[in-house]
Every structure is written in C-alpha cells, then in structure tokens.
Structure 1
Amino acid sequence: MDVETRELRYFVAVAEELHFGRAAHRLGIAQPPLSRAIRLLERRMGVTLLERTSREVRLTAAGEVLLTEGRGVLGAVAAAVRRTRRAAAVTPRLVLALKPGGDADLLRPILDRYAATPGAVPVELAFSVGERAAMVRDGRADLALLHRPQNDLSGLDSDDLHAEGQVVVLPDGHPLADRTTVSMADLRGETQPRWPEARPGVTGQLVTETAQLLQLILLGRMVAVLPESVRDRLPPGTVSRPVTDAEPATLVIAWPRASTSREVAAFVRAATSATAAPLNTATCPVPRAETASPESDNGA
C-alpha cells in the first residue's frame, strides 16, 4: 500500500504531541478530520498505531516504528525540496556548515583549492555549534566539517581531513594536573561534557558552547577531553595533559549519503586534496564565501 506524506505528517504530529487537539492546532486543521485520517491510516496498514483512552494517547510498538521511519521520510522529502530549489537557483551555490574555529586552520586552503576547480560555485558558510550534521541531513547544508569521535555521523558519508591527539583540560589544582600524561582510566568518575550532536550512548553533562565548557572547567565542575590544538586557546586557570590512549580527534568533511551532486563531489575532492598537499594561497583566487547562521545555534 502507498502512504501519502500528508498522512505521515498527520501521524507524526499526533505521535509527538500524544494529544489530538494539540496536534490539530499544530497542523492548522480541525480535530475531527485528523482523527478520521489516523483511523483510515490504521485500517489501510492493518495495524494499531495509537492506543486511545479518555485520558491519554499512547504509541503502540508499531506506532513507535512508524514514528521513527516517518520522521526520516519527512526529513528526506524536506531535504530533497531544499536541495532541488538550491540547484535550480539562478546562481547555484554550496552551503558548508562548520563550527567557529573548528576547521583546524584548513578552511582557507580548502576554499582556495575548490575555487581553482573548473565550474566552482560560490560557497556559503553556515556557522553552527550543534546542528551541523542535522543541517546536512535535512538539506539546509550540502556539506559539513565535523569531528570523529565527537559527532554522530550516521546517515552521512565522510572523508578524513586531519587527525590529532587529544588532551584533557583540567582546572588548576586538580589532582591530575601534577601528572605529565593521563589515561582514559584515570578519568573514570569525572564529569565530562556531552555535546548535542554526540554519538548515541554518550553520557555526560550537556554543554552547548565552548565558553560554557571552559567556565565549568574553571569552576571545577567538569573536565574535558579535547583535540590538542585547543591548548593555544585555553584561559588562565586551566591546564592540559595528553591522554595517551584517547582515540585521535579527526576532522572530516561530511555530505549526504548517496549524494549525486557534482558540486558536492568536486568540493570533497578539493578538500581532501588541499589537506593532503595545501596550496600556495598567495597565488590562488579567493572564493566568494558568504556567511549565515542557522535559526538555532544551541549545541555542539
């Protein structure tokens, strides 16, 4: 059987609100036609998606599956529309999402190398701390600079650009500050940060920006394992020590899985080429780059 995107949108709204009245208000429709649409969807699929009582609405096991799959389908449709509109623009462009200061000083050579590519289009820079991967998945961005293992790369393809060791950042006076190196085992029991785009299963205190993280470290509320290049930007009152067995922090260029965009492919080739053998930027043209910020920048 075929399911229309309208039906999925109706179901996802009810499943997220767990209240027909609130879902109807969110969708801008009356409640009776929404209820009829959900009942018709259940009959056509031959499953019960929602358990309804006079007091509550609950998802069944089948409803949980359709909620997860439905979100993915609706997100893919929205992403396809955004990418199609961007491709049809009078002046084609690429949108690259990145974290401020999170390019390991490689952005300039990457942009220079891409600008020297035949057929290069303008590159718009969209800065975000916590939505870069989401922006690529939902079509707001074509590519993103992300970090492994810190970021969740599910649903994306990626190539490695730069790897470096990691250090733990501690407040002055911390018992481990007297050590020359530490291990991951030494950090057991310490409160550590969890970024909004962290991999599934990562635990810790939610941190949404670097300034917040450093303030918590200075106050002795947490420690953080970060790329060793952060050492140059640490404030007084903190120290860093190499973590000998930490997984290297790797900067990656990520794009939608199974993308067929020639512009995206050209940018990825330029990025990997530039980081393998950087250009002489004195002789390379500077690309036209615009900056933009997503509507929400709460995250990591």
Structure 2
Amino acid sequence: METRELRYFVAVAEELHFGRAAQRLTIAQPPLSRAIQQLERRLGVVLLHRTTRAIALTDAGAVLLREARLALEAVEAAERRTRRAAADRPGVVLATKAGASRELLSKLLDAYAAEPFAIDVEVMLCGPGEPEGLLRNGHADVALLHRPYDTTSGLDTEDLHTEQQVAVLPAGHPLSTRSHLSMAEITDLPDLPLPRWPRRDGSYPDGPGPQVRDHTQLTQLIALGRACALMPESVRAQLRDEHAIVPVPDAPAVTTVIAWPPHSRSKAVADLVRSATRL
C-alpha cells in the first residue's frame, strides 16, 4: 500500500462522503473513487458499504482506518525527526503538560544543562493529553507523561516519581474540612462536577462538568465554585488560599514517567533520560 492511498482512504473514512473527502484532499472525485476501489481490489476486502444515500465503514475498513492513521503518523514523525537531525544547531524537544511536574522538570533541566555534553532543550508546554500525541507524531523527541492518564504502550519509559491524588475544592466548601474523601464522593457532587477534558480529536465526553483545556482555566473554575478536580498531590505548591485540598486515599496513584520512541537512537535523548533517572 502507498501512503497516498492511505491518505485518500483516511479522508473518505473520516468524512464518509466522497465529495467532501475530495475537497479536503484538493483532488477531483473520480480519481479518488478509483483509488479506493483499487485499494479494495489489492487487499481483497470491502472497506466501505456504499449506497446512494450514505457510506459506512465495514469491519475491515474500521481496522484499516486505525492502522492507516498509525502508519501515516509514523511516516510524518520520521520526516520531522530526520529534518531536526540535520539542523544546524542540534537540539532535543521535550513535551510536558503545562503546570504539571514543575519541580521535577526544573531539576531535570538544571541537571542536564550541567553535563558537559548538554545541548539545547526546547520545552513544549501543552494541554492535558497533548504531550503523548506530540511524542508519537514526531513533534517531540521525549516527553514527561503521567500514568494512568497518559497511555505509554509502544513507548520506552522510565518511572521518575509516584504520588497520591487529592481533591481540589473551593475554599469554604462544606467538604473542605474533611480529613479525606473517597472517589465515590468526588464523582457524585451535584454542585461541583468534575471537569471534562478534550479527547485527542478535540471532542469532549458527555457529562455535566465544564469543558476545560488548561490548568489555569480549571483552577479558576474551582475557585468560582463551578467544579472540583482530582489532581496529583504536588499541585499544592501551585494553589492559592481560594482553594482547599483534601486527600483521596482510594484514588489511583499518579506516576510521572519520561518516555521516548523505542526506535530512537538519539544520543541527546539517551543523555536526557539518564539525567532524569539519576535525580
């Protein structure tokens, strides 16, 4: 299969409309239809159910959509990393969630900068869930991720720090004086719903909580009494008097890991990982 065919198929599978897919690809519709038919003949499977009114993916088409996205992402990542390796000033790009692991990140950058072999580190501060995607698509060489919220399957990782989670509530809330709360209590507060973070495709899950995109927005909503949140215990250092923190003993622990692609042969990435594991 050619990458061109995979791009064509992904466009049709996502739009479920040949006209819109052709417009998105800036090509005419007839060659797009022929390319998909040729792909089906080559694979010996039907990828799309076609009627005069609608298009739907077959089971085989759903599998190819998932695999094609991964394949195209890998090709684009290879292109980005290759260009970066040829840059006049070599550097390493580290992605991390804004507002998370501040102390650890600061110590890591200082420790690495003190090494005689250190090169420039570009830090990409992003929203929740974004560092993993930036690492997988080649925009970043290494990332700080947080299990269980980030998925590390298919990546090489080293665990750096594990901490318990706490409930962050508005100061003065009736529950703010409790010695601890349970997960069941946190997820069932009618006046303080949990926030809804965007998925990788930009959509939001259903629910009563407010839609949030970053840590600053969330902490302000909590202070206004519009939401509560479950966060790693290290968030204490970043909050103000308008917030209250209550331990949640049965919440899953959060482990900060440093992650990188398993096929990476970058000396800079290896050196950065060694600096992190020595902290």
Q: Does 1:272 align with 2:277?
A: yes
In the TM superposition, 1:50-129 aligns within 5 A as 50-129=48-127
Corresponding residue for 1:9? 7
Deviation of 1:47 (Å): 0.6
Q: Which runs of 5+ in 2 are unaligned?
A: none
Higher relative contact order (CA 8 A, sep 6+): 1
Distance, in Å, in 1 between the alignment partners of 2:24 and 2:199 is 26
Q: Residue by residue, what CA displacement relative to the aligned partner does 1:193-250 show, whole Å, maximum 9, x if unpaired?
A: 343469xxx9864421123222332343332111222223324433111112222222
With over 3 angstroms needed to count, the CA separation of the structure-2 counterparts of 1:268 and 1:34, relative to structure 1, is: same
Q: Residue by residue, what CA displacement relative to the aligned partner does 1:233-277 show, whole Å, maximum 9, x if unpaired?
A: 32443311111222222222111233232221111011111x2xx
Corresponding residue for 2:197? 195
Distance, in Å, in 2 between the alignment partners of 1:196 and 1:255 is 23
Corresponding residue for 1:158? 157
Distance, in Å, in 2 between the alignment partners of 1:203 and 1:104 is 31
Deviation of 1:118 (Å): 4.7
Within the candidate set 245, 268, 275, 2:250 is matched to 245
Deviation of 1:172 (Å): 3.5
- State, as a whole percentage, how many aligned pairs show the same letter: 57
- Which residue identity does 1:123 align to in structure 2? V
- Which residue identity does 2:47 align to in structure 1? L
The size of the alignment, in residue pairs, is 269
Q: Residue by residue, what CA displacement relative to the aligned partner does 1:12-55 show, whole Å, maximum 9, x if unpaired?
A: 01111111111111112111101000001101111110111121
Within the candidate set 238, 263, 270, 1:233 is matched to 238
Q: Does 1:216 align with 2:241?
A: no
Provide the TM-score with structure 1 as the length reference. 0.82
Q: CA RMSD in A?
A: 2.1
Corresponding residue for 1:28? 26
Q: Residue by residue, what CA displacement relative to the aligned partner does 1:50-91 show, whole Å, maximum 9, x if unpaired?
A: 111121111111100000000000000000111111112222
- Which residue identity does 2:137 align to in structure 1? D
Distance, in Å, in 2 between the alignment partners of 1:247 and 1:203 is 22
Deviation of 1:154 (Å): 3.3
- Which residue identity does 1:56 align to in structure 2? A
Corresponding residue for 2:261? 256
Provide the TM-score with structure 2 as the length reference. 0.88
Corresponding residue for 2:144? 145
Deviation of 1:173 (Å): 4.3
Distance, in Å, in 1 between the alignment partners of 2:56 and 2:12 is 10
Distance, in Å, in 2 between the alignment partners of 1:163 and 1:47 is 47
Q: Residue by residue, what CA displacement relative to the aligned partner does 1:91-122 show, whole Å, maximum 9, x if unpaired?
A: 21100112333233122331232234453321
Q: Residue by residue, what CA displacement relative to the aligned partner does 1:153-193 show, whole Å, maximum 9, x if unpaired?
A: 33322212222222101124434223112222332423323
Corresponding residue for 1:279? none
Q: Which runs of 5+ in 1 are unaligned?
A: 276-300
- Which residue identity does 1:151 align to in structure 2? D
With over 3 angstroms needed to count, the CA separation of the structure-2 counterparts of 1:255 and 1:241, relative to structure 1, is: same
